[in-house]
A = this chain, B = another copy of it.
Amino acid sequence: MKGKAYEQYHASFGGTYIRDAVFGANDGIVTTFAVVAGVAGANLPLSTVLILGFANLLADGLAMGLGNYLGIKSEVDYIRRERRLEGWETVHAPDLERKEIEAIYQRKGFKGKELQRVVEVITGNKKVWVDTMMTEELGLPTEKSEHPVKNGVATFISFALAGLNPLLPYIFGIPDAFNVSIIVTGLTLFLVGSLRSLITKKPWFVAGLEMLLVGTVAAAAAYFTGDFIKRLI
């Protein structure tokens, strides 16, 4: 059974907040470091890093948080609506819905009188009936008990906290801020990436290196784009 001690080795994919946090953190780091790298590539004044770094941090962070809230909310709403619809069908088109259950259990290998008995038992309990339609007919979870507001807040906070890191050397006015920012950003990416291993059960250093690689590609793109456009205009 789910959660029983003897099957602890099944990885849990449940931690949606961890997923939100990792996702938000990753976007936050890349977004602000893109500003840092673009400014460096185009030799813009350092103050631009703080101005646009923070502007991006707040704007993208809010959009990600609100967007995630709306997305999960509509998923939850969707599943509730489908559930209501199947419930309505069991009342208003019971013969059709009974035929669906029959077809589902026929495919599982039941036949004849046995099949009829299974259909009777399943359709004898409305919750079981609708649950079966949800998972077997529609391929949906039977219900979603998520808290979209918490998902949104987790996204925003992790976005802002992680996204602050590339800006730190500029906030504290450290000399050679760009190089320090590269190091801080690389470490943050690796750390956030390795936290992903909590969800995916990948080895932590593989997950960390993966995210470091993605960030490096993104940062290089920002740097050379900044440099390239500066020459163009």
Give, as a whole number of angstroms, the nearest-CB distance from A204 to chain B: 13
Interface of A is mostly: helix
For residue A109, CB closer than 8 A to chain B, the reply is yes
Which A52-71 residues have a C-beta within 8 angstroms of B? 52, 54-60, 62-64, 66-67, 70-71
Are A108 and B128 in contact (CB-based, < 8 A)? yes
> Please, how many angstroms separate the alpha-carbon atoms of A70 and B1 in the complex?
29
**Contact between chains at A59 and B218 (CB < 8 Å):** yes
Contacts of A48 in B (CB 8 A): 44, 48, 52
Interface residues on A, range: 35 or more
Asked whether any CB of chain B lies closer than 8 Å to the CB of A201, the reply is yes
Asked whether, in the complex, the Cβ of A55 is within 8 Å of the Cβ of B35, the reply is yes
Q: Give the number of copies in the complex.
A: 2
Closest B residue to A189 using CB positions: B63
With A10-B82, A34-B55 known, 14 other A-B pairs at CB within 8 A are: A2-B138, A9-B85, A11-B81, A13-B78, A23-B71, A38-B55, A63-B218, A66-B217, A70-B211, A77-B200, A81-B201, A108-B121, A108-B122, A109-B122
- 26 A/B residue pairs, CB under 8 Å, sorted by A: A1-B137, A2-B137, A11-B78, A13-B78, A26-B63, A27-B64, A30-B59, A31-B56, A31-B59, A35-B52, A42-B51, A47-B233, A51-B233, A54-B229, A55-B223, A58-B221, A58-B222, A59-B218, A59-B221, A63-B215, A74-B196, A74-B200, A74-B202, A75-B200, A108-B125, A139-B141
